Amino acid sequence: MLEVAKLQVNYGAAPALWDVSIRVDRGELVCVVGPNGAGKSTLINVIAGLHRARGGRLSFDGRDITQLASHRFCAAGIAVVPEGRRLFTGMSVRDNLELGSYLPEAKAHRAESMDKVLALFPVLQEKLRSPAGALSGGQQQMVAIGRALMSRPQLLLLDEPSLGLAPLIVQHMFKAIQEINAGGTSVLLVEQNVSMAMALARRAYVMEEGRIVADGLASDLVNRPEIRKAYLGLETHE
């Protein structure tokens, strides 16, 4: 479904990504992990159309989208949940969710999509009229994910969805992500909670300093002592 080949990205004159190649197959849940500053969010932003690649190729569903205009990525079937949620805090929860379904096809299925979001996050049902800024951090993250789902994406990009959330809320969030994927939506997850991300994903990529340094089945990577110690911040089994 998604093919990223030899991606090169700069911030001004400073290189941020070098020869990054990843893929997400249809129906897969893939995670990208690594330390702060590794380039994970930059990668997500390029795939979402928020930052232009300097070189390389992006292909989605067999179509070259490398030079696609930023506002066309959503219509192509890609939705992003950005780091920090970026809700319209003064607007109601319902209005924030409905903003995700502004394209004609998504708008035609708005009621159905809203029902699915509220089934996934039942607590939002009673918050629909509340300002998004009045919600807890966990509830705001639910709104951010729900807003992305309202566009009926084929691929959901998640940038640090557990950031700043209490452990119990994080567990609930990851369960919801698993349910989204089980429903047929492909997921690319960028996450610093390595243990939970690796447990959730089928395949994983490890990034450091703008490069992919390891990739493979998540279950294999997380059990390689040199990878656990050097890149994942996990204790080895030794």
Residue ranges, the chain, pLDDT below 70: 231, 233-238
Q: In this structure, what token pair is assigned to residue 105?
A: 């096809």
Q: Which CATH class is domain 2-232?
A: alpha beta
- Residue 100 identity (one-letter amino acid): G
Per-residue pLDDT, 46? 96
pLDDT, tens digit, 9 for 90 and up, residues 106-154: 999 999 999 999 999 999 999 999 999 999 999 999 999 999 999 999 9
* Cβ neighbourhood burial of 36 (10 Å; 0-12, 13-18, 19+): exposed
How many CB atoms sit inside 10 A of residue 144's CB? 25
Could you give the CA distance from residue 186 to residue 27 in angstroms, rounded to a whole number?
A: 4
Contacting residues for 116 by C-beta, under 8 A, at least 6 apart: 149
Alpha helix (H) residue ranges in the chain: 40-47, 73-76, 93-98, 104-108, 110-120, 137-149, 167-182, 194-200, 218-221, 225-227
Q: Exposed, middle or buried: residue 105 (CB in 10 Å: 0-12, 13-18, 19+)?
A: exposed
What are the residue ranges spanned by the domains of the chain?
A: 2-232
Of the candidates 48, 40, 87, the one whose C-alpha atom is nearest the C-alpha of residue 71 is 48
The pLDDT score that the predictor gives to residue 238 is 47
| Residue 236 pLDDT | 54
Residues 6+ apart with CB under 8 A from 201: 29, 30, 31, 189, 218
The token pair that represents 108 in the structure block: 């035609």
Q: Are 48 and 80 in contact (CB under 8 A)?
A: yes
